[in-house]
């Protein structure tokens, strides 16, 4: 009976070939499906990466806005709420940055203080969410889509709070981003054809869209599936149908920044564009597979007998023998190149292969154990903090650096969570950050401010990232560096710079700093105010441009000829922007590199006073010319240059004969030596006085009293102005009376103290009338009737004031000052006059008081007043003398001194660094701060009054002597490394800084010490860790590398194992100096290597492969490589991994094998 066709080997082979073709078809469909999935994953990741790229543009815009607002918050005018200057700043910013619709400054209640554009009516924005978050969170905030009340345009509002010294919010600065401009930015994004881009705010409203941005702004997203996916997580992708009916793949991500911006960005790519190429390729594969299947069946029919049936018989025979228990059974077939030959060879080598695989597995397990031991040793000695947590936040691993930082015993952290180790607020923040890393799958790098359970605080630079263990479980790993000391130094530096800038900005004199060509590069507000230029305009000019040419009388060569190593002073004339000039004094110092620092002081007031003095003398000269009192003007040599009519009548000598004659020639010989002696004492004595007998032509001699005073004429020449009195009849009485009156007038007029002579007689009469009406309590009466007090003050008559009074109140003349008395006294002066009236009513002859007056320009001045009743005026109050001294500067200095002492007390005691004040000569401690007591262990009462030597603080007393010597030579000492001894005997390493200061008139030293013991130990540990790591890498049986992701595999770093592996030195490969590593890979292996690496990058997994390279000596060597792509903060991809000889990878089932 014949067998069915399919029961025979040939039939079955044909059936098998047919069945084999079916999986091929299935595989083709599966590969097509898989490629479609890979394409979907690739397109999704590309879409997400594109969304991230576009989001980074938005993040830069928001970060730029944050930086602008933070810089504005440091501007003093804005912090003080100066509306005019604030708008000036806003105008400059809007001119420079066209993407902003408005800027505004708000007070803590939400009222708009200043804005650009200006509001049409008073606005209050306290109900805005971004304002409330800025005030409560005290940080940068960003609002959602809204129609701005200032611009009536669609905007996003960013806000920054200005925090005062007390920690309260004093101002809120806002910037409105123009949404129309954001749409323009979105339109410039390079997107694939048919793609769309959408930016959403917190309320899921469209802020920007491309294309058709203006049509969609402010509306909700129409794709419900997309909106649900965006709400579900911070990043991802979804397929959905767009409003135009096209199916798209949407990738979305969060616009990140230093804050939660609330913005999400969505990018959609058409599905047809994503899958078109893969669909066409799959159709071609199916057609080709069908043709191959037909040809295969034909070849199988013909070759079955010749190549299969005969060999199968021999193979079956050997199989039956092996099944019968013959261990020596062999196929005895010749080993050829066919499949049956391979099957026979595999049958014969089966036992040996099993044994070889077992040996290889044992070696691989041993290598894995050694790798884990090296990792654990490295982490135990690393100075960086490292830890691993599970998804519930429990610590599974931590290195010794973590235990030291938290003060924990070994393994005390295991199984504990953040709530057990950190303060509540810190633990909450860490859990939120961990959830973000685990959900996004992206590393997080941040400087965290942390607080432990025991109250200690720290600043860590933390990098956390997801990690997958061998079982596939996702964990969280992190590494940290302690930046606490660095953060403290940065804050101290910032405070110092702000204090210095405040001093310069508040200086009353102009201060300028120039470059070597005398171009102004920095000016303070005082110079801008004096010159009339804006600070920005001055910075474009040379300092010489402000000076009238030739006005530097002490610097003929100008500012380009300054002496070195000392200050140069000169009077000069400064020209303002409006063309007017004013006299000034300039003090310039030549700095290093040719720069100049100059101080400019306006001396206009002083020049006006000098001019007024000369004019007054000229008026006196003319007055005396027509007075009935004889008057003459002499040179310092005694030559007569001017006489008046009374002199001519007295002397009986015509004017033309008198002028040019020596006055001594008119005196008898006995009086001439005394006159010449008095004349020779000028101008030091400043006055010429004496009684002389003067001969007269044709008449009897007369006795005259000469009273002279040194002054100047209209040309500024020194002259002696003399008054002659005929004292012949009553020489003694008249002479004394004249001298006394002249002395009083001179003292009153020229006294540097402001003097007043006032007439209170009208007030005296008013007081007497009140007494007649029964008023006995004047104080209560004037309090109840302030208008009556004001009437009394108006009745006071100012009899006379001196020159110092005119200068004090800014008056050019006595009449000008008397006309402005109501402005001088002001409302604050009535209380002073009330006290004066009460003192006179009590019968006081003199008393003192203090009050506030005002100059004619309206500036307040505080005066110390001394009142006295002139002799003879006790009953009439007709002559009340008042002296006034300006104590405004002294009171300000006293207030500033109190404020300075208070600031020192507030900052010195709680300062974090070790600080002490000691006497300069003996080194005896005057004061120490809390950190000194805490860190060095000395109670304050045990160290105050003792020296450092007596307390045994210095390990080496010579170090202190050296610091004192350098202090004497340099003026200060900064960051000298010293060693100190605590009270308990332990020794610390520290940095010591010393500056001189004066405390209560005594020279002292301010000493600041920073403990660097921990830092030095950390540096030593780091050096040891690096040495161990270098030794480990040099002893690895292979090459550790870091390279660029480019076709040449450009090496950035290779270990010493490169030499044994490739035959090249490490320096030959770094930067492709001699040869590129990509050039060592054989051409036939290169494409597969590139494909495996790129697939690993796309799937974010490690790549493993074996391939061949050509060594320097020409040998072809098989190598094994394992690595991973690392994405830097700038988005740059680098590759890191390990390459060894192929013998390291034997027995491992690699994903890719070349050659």
- Looking at residue 96, which CATH number applies to its domain? 3.30.450.20
pLDDT(1115) > 90 = yes
Contacts of 1112 (CB under 8 A, 6+ apart): 1062, 1063, 1064
E strand spans, 179-306: 196-200, 206-210, 236-241, 247-254, 264-270
CA–CA distance, 782 with 766 (Å, rounded to integer): 12
CA Rg, the chain, in Å?
49
Tokens of 45: 């990741």
Residue 227 lies in a domain: no
Q: How many CB atoms lie within 10 A of CB 728?
A: 13
Tell me which residue of 889, 869, 879, 964 sits closest to 919, measured CA to CA: 964
DSSP state letter for 305:
I
More confident residue, 380 or 1049: 1049
More confident residue, 677 or 43: 677
Q: Is the dihedral of CA 349, 350, 355, 356 positive or negative?
A: positive
CA–CA distance, 66 with 72 (Å, rounded to integer): 10
pLDDT(41) > 50 = yes
pLDDT(397) > 70 = yes
SS3 content of the chain, % helix, strand, coil (to 5): 45, 30, 25
Burial tier of 415 (Cβ tally within 10 Å: 0-12, 13-18, 19+): exposed
Tell me which residue of 128, 169, 141, 134 sits closest to 65, measured CA to CA: 141
pLDDT(1153) > 50 = no
Which of 693, 715, 750 is a domain's end point?
A: 750
Rounded average pLDDT over 1022-1040: 73
Residue 849 lies in a domain: yes
pLDDT on residue 1121: 92
Asked if 395 and 362 sit in the same domain, the reply is no
pLDDT(699) > 90 = no
CB under 8 A, 24+ apart: contacts of 956-963: 960/923, 963/992, 963/994
Asked if 440 and 539 sit in the same domain, the reply is no
Asked if 745 and 841 sit in the same domain, the reply is no
pLDDT(25) > 60 = yes
E strand spans, 67-195: 100-106, 112-116, 141-147, 154-163, 169-178
CA distances from 7 to 13, 16, 300, 1154 (A): 10, 12, 16, 41
pLDDT(393) > 80 = yes
Confidence of residue 568 (pLDDT cuts 50, 70, 90): confident
DSSP-derived 3-state class of residue 784: helix
CA distances from 806 to 79, 392, 800 (A): 39, 83, 11
Order of strands across the sheet that contains 914-919: 925-928, 914-919, 1002-1011, 987-999, 973-981
273-287, 463-477, 732-746: segment of lowest average pLDDT: 732-746
Helical segments of 250-349, H only: 271-304, 310-323, 339-348
CA–CA distance, 633 with 721 (Å, rounded to integer): 5
pLDDT on residue 1151: 39
More confident residue, 1016 or 1082: 1082
CA–CA distance, 478 with 462 (Å, rounded to integer): 7
Of 61-75, 202-216, 268-282, 640-654, where does the model show the most confidence?
A: 640-654
Phi and psi of 601, rounded to 5°?
-120, 130
More confident residue, 376 or 320: 376
Asked if 1002 and 1065 sit in the same domain, the reply is no
Asked if 768 and 836 sit in the same domain, the reply is yes
pLDDT(526) > 80 = yes
- The chain-wide mean pLDDT, for the chain, equals 80
152-156, 206-210, 319-323, 1012-1016: segment of lowest average pLDDT: 319-323
Confidence of residue 1077 (pLDDT cuts 50, 70, 90): very high
195-199, 754-758, 1123-1127: segment of lowest average pLDDT: 195-199
Residue 501 lies in a domain: no
Asked if 809 and 850 sit in the same domain, the reply is yes
Phi-psi region of 652 (alpha: psi -120 to 50; beta: other; left: phi over 0): left
Tokens of 789: 């007090």
CA–CA distance, 522 with 514 (Å, rounded to integer): 7
pLDDT tens by residue, 650-670: 888 888 888 999 988 888 888
Asked if 760 and 882 sit in the same domain, the reply is yes
Asked if 1068 and 1127 sit in the same domain, the reply is yes
Q: How many CB atoms lie within 10 A of CB 692?
A: 22
Asked if 850 and 980 sit in the same domain, the reply is no
Asked if 622 and 735 sit in the same domain, the reply is yes
Residue 243 lies in a domain: no
CA–CA distance, 600 with 572 (Å, rounded to integer): 9
Tokens of 624: 């005396």
pLDDT(1) > 50 = no
Q: Whole-angstrom distance between the N-terminal and C-terminal Cα of the chain? A: 52
Tokens of 438: 């685990």
Residue 300 lies in a domain: yes
pLDDT(133) > 90 = no
Q: Which domain holds residue 707?
A: 608-750
Burial tier of 1119 (Cβ tally within 10 Å: 0-12, 13-18, 19+): buried
CA–CA distance, 163 with 650 (Å, rounded to integer): 81
Asked if 887 and 758 sit in the same domain, the reply is yes
More confident residue, 681 or 183: 681
CA–CA distance, 749 with 567 (Å, rounded to integer): 37
Of 236-250, 269-283, 751-765, 1015-1029, where does the model show the most confidence?
A: 751-765
Whole-number percent of the chain with pLDDT over 90? 8
Whether 62 and 257 have beta carbons less than 8 Å apart is answered as yes
In which element (H, E) is residue 574 found? strand 567-575
CA distances from 328 to 320, 341, 350, 645 (A): 12, 18, 13, 162
pLDDT(1134) > 60 = yes
Residue 730 lies in a domain: yes
pLDDT on residue 1117: 92
Residue 198 lies in a domain: no
CA–CA distance, 867 with 869 (Å, rounded to integer): 7
Confidence of residue 235 (pLDDT cuts 50, 70, 90): confident
pLDDT(735) > 60 = no
State the total domains in the chain: 9
E strand spans, 469-554: 474-482, 510-514, 520-523
Whole-number percent of the chain with pLDDT over 70? 83
Which of 381, 401, 430 is a domain's end point?
A: 381
Q: How many CB atoms lie within 10 A of CB 332?
A: 11
CA–CA distance, 1050 with 1079 (Å, rounded to integer): 10
Whether 734 and 716 have beta carbons less than 8 Å apart is answered as no
pLDDT on residue 1069: 92
Of 211-225, 879-893, 915-929, where does the model show the most confidence?
A: 915-929
Which of 587, 602, 617 is a domain's end point?
A: 602
pLDDT on residue 354: 40
pLDDT(903) > 70 = no
pLDDT(453) > 50 = yes
Whether 79 and 89 have beta carbons less than 8 Å apart is answered as no
Asked if 149 and 76 sit in the same domain, the reply is yes
Residue 250 lies in a domain: no
Whether 641 and 658 have beta carbons less than 8 Å apart is answered as no
- Please confirm whether the linkage preceding 54 is cis (ω < 30° from 0): no
CA–CA distance, 387 with 390 (Å, rounded to integer): 10
CA–CA distance, 667 with 692 (Å, rounded to integer): 7
Of 48-57, 325-334, 525-534, where does the model show the most confidence?
A: 525-534
Half-sphere exposure at residue 798, Cβ-oriented, CA atoms within 13 angstroms = 20
pLDDT on residue 744: 64
In which element (H, E) is residue 372 found? helix 350-381
Whether 458 and 405 have beta carbons less than 8 Å apart is answered as yes
Of 5-19, 622-636, 1108-1122, where does the model show the most confidence?
A: 1108-1122
pLDDT(1155) > 50 = no
Angle between helices 179-187 and 9-73 (to 10 degrees): 140
pLDDT tens by residue, 829-867: 788 888 888 888 888 888 888 888 888 888 888 888 888
Tokens of 1002: 């005594």
pLDDT on residue 5: 59
CA–CA distance, 210 with 196 (Å, rounded to integer): 6
Whether 865 and 818 have beta carbons less than 8 Å apart is answered as no
pLDDT(355) > 50 = no
Distance of CA 913 to the CA centre of its chain: 22
């Amino acid at each position: 009976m014949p067998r069915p066709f399919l029961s025979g080997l040939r039939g079955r082979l044909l059936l098998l070939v047919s069945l084999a073709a079916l999986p091929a078809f299935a595989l083709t469909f599966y590969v097509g499906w898989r490629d479609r999935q890979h394409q979907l994953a690739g397109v999704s990741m590309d879409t997400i990466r594109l969304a991230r790229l576009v989001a980074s543009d938005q993040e830069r815009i928001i970060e730029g806005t944050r930086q602008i607002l933070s810089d504005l918050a440091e501007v003093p005018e804005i912090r003080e709420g100066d509306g005019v200057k604030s708008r000036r700043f806003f105008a400059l910013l809007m001119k420079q940055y066209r993407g902003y619709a408005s800027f505004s400054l708000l007070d803590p209640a939400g009222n708009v203080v200043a804005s650009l554009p200006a509001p049409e009516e008073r606005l209050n924005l306290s109900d805005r969410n971004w304002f409330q978050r800025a005030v409560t969170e005290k940080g940068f905030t960003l609002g959602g889509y809204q129609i701005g009340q200032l611009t009536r345009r669609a905007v996003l509002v960013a806000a920054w709070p200005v925090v005062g010294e007390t920690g309260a919010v004093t101002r809120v600065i806002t910037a409105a981003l123009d949404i129309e401009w954001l749409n323009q930015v979105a339109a410039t994004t390079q997107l694939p054809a048919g793609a769309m881009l959408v930016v959403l705010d917190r309320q899921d409203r469209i802020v920007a869209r491309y294309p058709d941005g203006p049509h969609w702004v402010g509306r909700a997203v129409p794709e419900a599936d997309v909106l649900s996916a965006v709400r579900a997580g911070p990043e991802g992708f979804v397929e959905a149908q767009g409003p135009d009916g096209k199916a798209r793949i949407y990738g979305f991500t969060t616009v990140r920044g230093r804050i939660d911006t609330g913005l999400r960005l969505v990018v959609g790519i058409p599905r047809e564009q994503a899958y078109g190429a893969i669909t066409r390729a799959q159709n071609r594969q199916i057609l080709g597979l069908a043709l191959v299947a037909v040809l295969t069946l034909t070849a199988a029919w013909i070759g079955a007998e010749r190549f299969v049936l005969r060999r199968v018989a021999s193979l079956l025979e050997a199989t039956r023998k092996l099944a019968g228990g013959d261990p020596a059974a062999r196929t005895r077939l010749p080993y050829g190149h066919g499949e049956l030959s391979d099957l026979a060879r595999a049958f014969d080598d089966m036992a040996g292969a099993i044994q070889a695989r077992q040996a290889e597995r044992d070696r691989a397990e041993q290598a894995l154990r050694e790798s884990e031991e090296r990792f654990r040793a490295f982490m135990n000695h690393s100075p960086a903090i490292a830890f691993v947590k599970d998804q519930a936040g429990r610590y599974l691993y931590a290195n010794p650096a973590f235990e030291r930082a938290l003060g924990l015993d070994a393994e005390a952290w295991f199984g504990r969570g953040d709530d057990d180790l950190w303060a509540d607020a810190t633990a909450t923040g860490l859990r939120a950050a961990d959830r973000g890393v685990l959900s996004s799958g992206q590393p997080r790098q941040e400087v965290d401010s942390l607080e432990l359970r025991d109250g200690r605080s720290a600043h860590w630079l933390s990098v956390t990232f997801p990690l997958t263990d061998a079982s596939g479980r996702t964990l969280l790993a992190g590494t940290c560096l302690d930046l606490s000391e660095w953060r403290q130094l940065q804050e101290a530096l910032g405070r110092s710079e702000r204090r210095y800038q405040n001093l310069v900005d508040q200086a009353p004199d102009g201060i300028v700093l120039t470059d070597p060509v005398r171009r102004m590069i920095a000016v303070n507000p005082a110079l801008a105010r004096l010159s009339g230029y804006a600070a920005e305009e001055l910075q474009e000019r040379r300092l010489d441009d402000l000076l009238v040419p030739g006005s530097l009388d002490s610097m003929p060569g100008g500012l380009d000829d300054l002496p070195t190593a000392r200050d140069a002073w000169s009077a000069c004339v400064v020209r303002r922007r409006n063309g007017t000039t004013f006299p000034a004094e300039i003090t310039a110092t030549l700095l290093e590199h040719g720069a100049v620092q100059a101080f400019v002081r306006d001396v206009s007031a002083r020049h006006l006073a000098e001019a007024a003095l000369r004019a007054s003398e000229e008026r006196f000269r003319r007055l005396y010319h027509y007075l009935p009192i004889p008057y003459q003007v002499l040179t310092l040599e005694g030559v007569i240059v001017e006489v008046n009519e009374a002199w001519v009548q007295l002397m009986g000598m015509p004017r033309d004969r008198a002028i040019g004659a020596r006055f001594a020639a008119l005196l008898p010989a006995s009086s001439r030596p005394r006159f010449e002696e008095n004349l020779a004492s000028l101008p030091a004595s400043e006055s010429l006085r004496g009684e002389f007998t003067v001969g007269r032509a044709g008449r009897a001699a007369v006795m005259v009293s000469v009273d002279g005073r040194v002054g100047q004429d209209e040309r500024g020449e020194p002259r002696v102005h003399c008054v002659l009195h005929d004292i012949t009849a009553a020489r003694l009485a008249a002479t004394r009376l004249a001298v006394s009156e002249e002395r009083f007038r001179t003292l009153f007029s020229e006294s540097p103290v402001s003097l007043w002579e006032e007439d209170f007689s009208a007030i005296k009469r008013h007081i007497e009338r009140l007494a007649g009406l029964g008023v006995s309590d004047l104080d209560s009466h004037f309090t109840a009737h302030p208008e009556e007090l004001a009437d009394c003050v108006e009745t006071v008559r100012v009899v006379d004031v001196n020159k110092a009074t005119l200068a004090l109140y800014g008056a050019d003349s006595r009449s000008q000052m008397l006309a402005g008395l109501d402005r001088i006294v002001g409302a604050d002066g009535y209380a002073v006059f009330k006290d004066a009236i009460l003192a006179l009513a009590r019968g006081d002859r003199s008393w003192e008081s203090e009050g506030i007056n005002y100059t004619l320009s309206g500036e307040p001045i505080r005066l110390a007043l001394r009142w006295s009743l002139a002799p003879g005026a006790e009953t009439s109050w007709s002559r009340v003398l008042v002296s006034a001294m300006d104590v405004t500067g002294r009171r300000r200095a006293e207030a500033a001194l109190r404020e300075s002492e208070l600031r020192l007390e507030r900052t010195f005691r709680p300062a974090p660094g070790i600080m002490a004040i000691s006497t300069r000569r003996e080194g005896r401690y005057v004061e120490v701060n809390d950190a000194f007591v805490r860190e060095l262990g000395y109670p304050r009462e045990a160290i105050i009054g003792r020296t450092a030597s007596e307390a045994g603080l210095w390990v080496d007393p010579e170090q202190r002597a050296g610091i004192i010597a350098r202090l004497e030579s340099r003026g200060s000492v900064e960051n000298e490394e010293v060693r100190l001894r605590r009270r308990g005997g332990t020794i610390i390493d520290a940095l010591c800084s010393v500056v001189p200061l004066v405390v209560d008139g005594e020279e002292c030293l301010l000493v600041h010490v920073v403990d660097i013991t921990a830092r030095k130990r950390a540096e030593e540990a780091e050096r040891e860790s690096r040495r161990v790591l270098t030794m480990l890498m040099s002893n690895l049986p292979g090459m550790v590398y870091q390279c660029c992701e480019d076709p040449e595999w450009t090496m950035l770093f290779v270990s010493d194992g490169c030499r044994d592996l490739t035959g090249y030195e490490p320096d030959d490969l770094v930067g492709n100096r001699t040869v590129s590593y990509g050039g060592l890979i054989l051409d036939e292996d290169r494409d597969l290597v590139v494909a495996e690496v790129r697939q690993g990058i796309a799937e974010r997994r490690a790549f493993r492969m074996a391939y061949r390279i050509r060594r320097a000596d020409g040998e072809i060597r098989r190598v094994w490589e394992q690595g991973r792509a690392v994405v830097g903060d700038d988005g740059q991809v680098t590759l890191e991994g390990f390459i060894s000889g192929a013998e390291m990878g034997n027995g491992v089932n690699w994903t890719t094998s070349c050659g």
